[in-house]
A = this chain, B = another copy of it.
Amino acid sequence: MKLYDYPGAPNPRRVKIFLAEKGMDYDIVNCDMSKGEHKKPEFLRKNPSGKLPVLELDDGRCLSESVAICRYLEMIKPDPNLFGKDAYESGHIEMRNRQIEFELWSQIGTSWVNGPIVAKMGLVKSIPEAKELSDANVRRYYERLDHEFSDFEYVAGSRFTVADITLLTAVDFAAALVELKPDYSLRNLWRWHTLVSGRASVE
């Protein structure tokens, strides 16, 4: 199978960490977003949404959306388990993963889209008011996470799951490219970050 990737992009990174956790082999195909290759007809046939990552199976079928790709991989290679072992744990991990996506990732995305790097690309008109609000939401959410990590070692409890990959890639992207690094006073959040960043799967 082939993974369409763009180095540095956070969503392909989620899938690459997941694949490394599973110990699965795959080929990388570089899709140069800086040249708009993800919006060209050939790529849009693989993913009409024009986004990375895409997983192309050996029979030519394609899957997109990071978590959808990861769920497919979990089903073809169940160990180590990253999505939950029983009904409650599966629901709980899905809940935690979605909270990170809808309450943190979405706000980081708004800050990114309305920030200086995207403005320079000239693709969309920045809305500074929207960025102010999302910046504040991100900082507030970091505080909630710091509080939660005083009780739990990982995002969904006592073990590493897909929800940790979602949070790690969000925080690293926010810190590197959106000027939203968590404050160092948030010690529980940083304790978690150091723990997860040290895994062999994380690059």
Contacts and interface: CB of A to CB of B under 8 A. Distances in A.
Interface in A121-148: 124-125, 127, 129-130, 133, 144
A200 interface: no
Given A63-B95, A71-B90, A75-B90, 6 more contacts: A49-B103, A65-B94, A125-B129, A127-B127, A127-B129, A127-B133
Interface string A93-129: 0110011001100100000000000000000110101
- The 6 tightest CB contacts between A and B, nearest first, are A72-B91, A75-B87, A68-B95, A68-B94, A65-B98, A65-B95
A92 B67 CA distance: 11
A127 B99 CA distance: 24
Bin the interface of chain A by size. Answer: 20 to 34
A61 interface: yes
Contact of A71 (B48, B63, B94, B144): B94
Copies of this chain in its oligomeric complex: 2
Contact of A76 (B49, B63, B76, B87): B87
Contacts of A106: 106
Contacts of A87: 72, 75-76
Q: Is the interface of A mostly helix, strand, loop or mixed?
A: helix
A47 to B, nearest CB: 9
Contacts of A144: 48
A84 to B, nearest CB: 9
A64 interface: yes
